[in-house]
Amino acid sequence: MDDAELQLRLCACRPHGQDADDPLMRAALDSLPRHPGLEAWHQQQTDFDRAMCRHVGQAPVPARLRAEILAAAKVSRARGRRAVLPWIAAAAMLAAAAVVFWMPRGNGVLSFAEAEVELVKMFDRMQTEGFSLDHVSDELAEVGTWLADAGAPLPYVVHAGARAATPMGCRVLDWRGGRVTMICFRKGGDSAHLFVLDRARLAEGEGPLSRDPAPVHHVDGRPVTAWGCRKCLYLLVGGAKDTRLDDFL
Amino acid sequence: MDFEQLVGEHYQPLYRFAHSLAQNEADAADLTQQTFLRWATRGFQLRERSKAKTWLFTTLYREFLSSRRRGRRFPHLELDDAESELPSVAPRVVEEMDSGAALDALSRLDDTFRAPLTLFYLQQHSYQEIADILGVPIGTVMSRLSRGKAQLKKLLSTLSNAGGKVIPFEPEQRERHG
Q: Domain ranges in chain A?
A: 3-57, 63-106, 109-248
Cβ within 8 Å, pair B12-A189: no
The pLDDT of residue A49 is above 80: yes
Question: Range with the lowest mean pLDDT among A40-49, A72-81, A96-105, A108-117?
Answer: A96-105
Which fold, B3-71? Rna Polymerase Sigma Factor; Chain: A (1.10.1740)
**What are the percentages of helix, strand and coil residues in chain B, rounded to 5?**
70, 0, 30
ipTM value? 0.75
- Residues of chain A with Cβ-Cβ distance to B59 below 8 Å are none
The pLDDT of residue B129 is above 90: yes
User: Cβ contacts of residue B178 below 8 Å, gap of 6+?
Assistant: none
Q: Residue B49: its pLDDT value, please?
A: 67
- Using CB atoms, which residue from A8, A59, A184 is nearest to B142? A8
Q: Residue A83: its pLDDT value, please?
A: 53
**Chain B closest CA to A41's CA: distance in Å?**
6
Q: Residue A128: its pLDDT value, please?
A: 80
A 175-204 near B (Cβ less than 8 A): 184, 186, 189-191
Q: Residue B73: its pLDDT value, please?
A: 38
pLDDT in tens, B86-107: 445 555 556 667 778 888 889 9
> Phi, psi (5° rounding) for residue B56?
-65, -45
* Helix B3-22, helix A65-101: angle, nearest 10: 120
Mean pLDDT, rounded, for A161-182? 89
Question: Does A78 contact chain B (CB < 8 Å)?
Answer: no
The pLDDT of residue A104 is above 50: no
Cβ within 8 Å, pair A56-B106: yes
- Residues of chain B with Cβ-Cβ distance to A13 below 8 Å are 127
Cβ within 8 Å, pair B42-A130: yes
A26 compared with A76, residue with greater pLDDT: A26
The pLDDT of residue A196 is above 90: yes
**Chain A closest CA to B76's CA: distance in Å?**
23
- Residues of chain A with Cβ-Cβ distance to B25 below 8 Å are 62
Quick one: what percent of chain A has pLDDT higher than 70? 86
> Phi, psi (5° rounding) for residue A67?
-60, -40
The pLDDT of residue A231 is above 70: yes
The dotted CATH code for B91-166 is: 1.10.10.10
Q: Residue B80: its pLDDT value, please?
A: 39
Residue extents of the structural domains in chain B? 3-71, 91-166
Number of CB atoms found within 10 A of residue A76's CB: 17
**Chain A closest CA to B142's CA: distance in Å?**
6
pLDDT in tens, A220-229: 889 999 998 8
- Residues of chain B with Cβ-Cβ distance to A190 below 8 Å are 47
Quick one: what percent of chain B has pLDDT higher than 70? 67
Report how far residue B178's alpha carbon sits from residue B171's, in angstroms, rounded to the nearest whole number: 11
The pLDDT of residue B75 is above 50: no
pLDDT in tens, A63-99: 888 888 888 777 665 555 555 556 666 666 666 555 5
Best of B86, B98, B133, B155 to disrupt the A interface (most A CBs within 10 Å) is B86
pLDDT in tens, B45-74: 665 667 888 989 999 999 888 877 655 433
**Phi-psi group of B23: left, alpha or beta (phi > 0 → left; psi -120 to 50 → alpha; rest → beta):** left
The residue type found at A30 is D
- Residues of chain B with Cβ-Cβ distance to A193 below 8 Å are none
Question: Does A18 contact chain B (CB < 8 Å)?
Answer: yes
Question: Range with the lowest mean pLDDT among A92-106, A110-124, A179-193?
Answer: A92-106
The residue type found at B178 is G
- Using CB atoms, which residue from B8, B12, B48 is nearest to A61? B12
